[in-house]
Amino acid sequence: MFLFSLVKRLVQLVVLGAVSYFLVSGVQVVLASRTPGAVAAAPKRPVAIVAATGSASGPLDADFSARLGHAAALAAAGRVGRVAVFATSEAQALRARAYLGHHGVPARDVSSFWARQLPGDFHLYDRSKLSRQALLVSDSWQVLWLDHLAAADGVQVVASPIAPTNGGIGNEASTIALQAAAVCWGRIAGFTQTGFIAG
């Protein structure tokens, strides 16, 4: 009886610790999301990194378009000199280039990376000859996770987030939960293993 009570108590403590760890990570995700995303607030860096969202074969979705628009604004304001786009297909990369060109970013100032897992393939950027210091354009809820993810692949980033385009309390709560789970798992298993959760 004593052994059963001890095991039950230990299980309760483990569950309580896990839940507390998850909740603390969720709070950290929310606090990190408040990083100012205004163009004027962004420090100067050689390049802005933009990770694609949406379909690899369909038109650019609202979130990806917003990220590209923010990157174009950073370039126009002289905050970055180049834009590096992580795309899931050649077609998506071409559409991103066309969007950036339409918004004033010359083709010569755009680099494309085709990644199977977005934005978890930062090692592709790390192997390039672009600067290892960059501005990272992302959804504001992804700031904490992506900062750790980039650092794990040797890229030093400063977030310049945009507000989420797919609003709604339920959707935001789900996104925060996924980001908290990714941060929790990343701190245990390594952030390069977290793209399947939050990517």
pLDDT (tens place) for every residue of the chain, 199 residues total: 667 777 778 888 888 888 888 898 888 988 887 666 678 878 888 999 888 777 777 788 888 898 899 999 999 999 999 999 888 888 888 999 999 999 999 999 998 887 665 555 666 666 667 777 888 888 888 888 888 877 877 777 777 777 766 666 777 788 888 888 888 888 888 777 776 665 5
Identify the pLDDT of residue 196.
60
49 and 137 Cβ atoms separated by less than 8 Å: yes
Identify the pLDDT of residue 123.
63
156 and 133 Cβ atoms separated by less than 8 Å: yes
For the chain, first and last CA: distance in Å? 46
Identify the pLDDT of residue 69.
92
Rounded-to-integer distance, Cα 145 and Cα 185, Å: 10
Listed residue (82, 110, 79) closest to 97, CA to CA? 110
Query: Phi, psi at residue 171, to the nearest 5°?
Result: -65, -40
Q: Are strands 110-114 and 82-87 parallel, antiparallel or unpaired?
A: parallel
Question: What dihedral angle (degrees, nearest 10) is formed by the CA atoms of 161, 88, 80, 166?
Answer: -20
Listed residue (175, 182, 177) closest to 196, CA to CA? 182
Identify the pLDDT of residue 109.
94
Identify the pLDDT of residue 197.
64
Q: Going by CATH, does the domain composed of 1-199 fall within 3.30.300?
A: no
Identify the pLDDT of residue 80.
93
The 10 Å Cβ neighbour count of residue 102 is 10
The 10 Å Cβ neighbour count of residue 69 is 16
